[in-house]
Amino acid sequence: MAKTPTVFIDGEAGTTGLQIRERLAANPHVALRSIAAERRKDAGARREMMEEVDLVILCLPDDAAKESAALAASLGAKAPKLLDASTAHRVDPSWVYGLAELTPDQPAAIAAAQNVSNPGCYPTGAILMLRPLVEAGLMAADHPITVNAVSGYTGGGKSMVAAYESRTAPDFEMYGLGLRHKHLPEMQKYSLLTRRPIFVPAVADYAQGMLDAIPLHLDMLAGKPKPADIEALLRDRYAGSEYVSVVPAEAGGKIEPQALNGTNALEIRVYGDEALGQAVLVARFDNLGKGASGAAVQNLGLMLGIPVNADLPVAAPRAAE
C-alpha cells in the first residue's frame, strides 16, 4: 500500500493554519505532523520537520514565509513541496499560482509544481470575474477597472481578530486608500490587465465573509454586451466547476457577504440594467474558505493527488437524548 503523505502546517496556530488543520484533521489520506508549541519558531526544528514531510503549508507573515522557503531550498533534493498562504511568492514566476480555476490547465500545473502560492482573498474573486472577459476580447487589457470589496475581520489575522473582539476597532472602515494594497500586483497580473486597477477594500464588524464588486460601463466593452451576455460568458467559463458558480442576481439589488461561510464555494452574480448600459459583477465567498484555507486544501489535494474536503467538516448531528 502507498505511504500516507505527511504534511506540516508552519503557523498552525494562526487564523489560516487553524482552519486548514480543521479541514485536514479527519482526512485519512494525509498525516499531519506538528512541532512542539515552544519550538515552533525555531529554525532548526522547522528544518528538521521539513526534511521529514512530503509537503509544508506556510501560514506565516511574509518575512517568515520567505525564511521558511529558504530553509526548504537549503534541503536540495530532500526539500518538501511548499504551499505558501502568504503574499511573498504570488507574482514570483518560479512559483505556480494556486488558483485552480484560473485556466483549464491550472490544476495540472498545480499538481506538477514543487512550490505553489495560495492566492490572496480579494484577488481570488476579482480575477475569476475579470480574466474571462479579457481572454474573450470583451474587455481591453488597459480597461480602467475599480474593485470595491468588503471583508470580515478574520481577514486581518490574529491581531485584527483581537482588536474587533475587544471592541477597539471601528464597526466599518475603508482602507487601502493609499492605492498600494499588497494584493494589487497579483490582481493585475492574473486578470491579464496592463492598467493597474484601483482597489478599495473595507473591513467590518463581522468575522468572516467577503464580497468583491466590479462596476462596468457596458458601452466601453467590445461589442457593447448586455448584462445577460456577460453572465452567459462567465457561466460557460465555469460550467462544471466544483467550487465556482455563476448564479442569477437577486431582484432588489442586495447581497450580504456571509452566506458561504465554512465552504470553499465562490458565487458570481451579474447585476445590471440593460437600458442604462451598466452592470456590477459581484463575487461572494468566505475569506477564510475559498479566500484562504479552503483554497489551500483544494491545492493540497491536487499537489498530493489525494481526495480532500475543502469545506469545513459539518458538525455531526447530536444523538437524541
Ligand X SMILES: NC(=O)C1=CN([C@@H]2O[C@H](COP(=O)(O)OP(=O)(O)OC[C@H]3O[C@@H](n4cnc5c(N)ncnc54)[C@H](OP(=O)(O)O)[C@@H]3O)[C@@H](O)[C@H]2O)C=CC1
Q: Which residues of this protein are in contact with ligand X, per CB under 6 A?
A: 11, 13-17, 40-41, 59-62, 64, 85-87, 120-121, 154-155, 157-158, 287-288, 291-292
Quick one: which H or E segment has residue 267?
strand 266-273
Quick one: which H or E segment has residue 245?
strand 244-246
Strands (E), the chain: 6-10, 31-33, 55-58, 81-84, 96-97, 115-117, 146-152, 172-174, 198-204, 210-217, 244-246, 266-273, 278-285
Nearest residue (CB) to ligand X2W, 143 versus 183: 183
201 binds, among ligand X2W, ligand X, none (CB under 5 to 8 A by kind): ligand X2W
40 binds, among ligand X, ligand X2W, none (CB under 5 to 8 A by kind): ligand X
Phi, psi torsion values for 83, nearest 5 degrees = -130, 110
Cβ burial, residue 279 (10 Å; 0-12/13-18/19+): buried
Cβ burial, residue 194 (10 Å; 0-12/13-18/19+): exposed
288 binds, among ligand X, ligand X2W, none (CB under 5 to 8 A by kind): ligand X
Nearest residue (CB) to ligand X, 17 versus 272: 17
Check if 59 is active-site.
no
Least distance from ligand X2W to the Cβ atom of residue 124, Å? 8
Which member of 121, 126, 129, 308 is catalytic?
121
Least distance from ligand X2W to the Cβ atom of residue 234, Å? 23
Using an 8 Å Cβ cutoff, are 283 and 129 in contact?
yes
> Which residues contact ligand X2W by CB under 6 A?
86-87, 120-121, 151, 155-156, 160, 182-183, 201, 203, 291
Nearest residue (CB) to ligand X2W, 209 versus 272: 209
Hey, which residues are catalytic here? 121
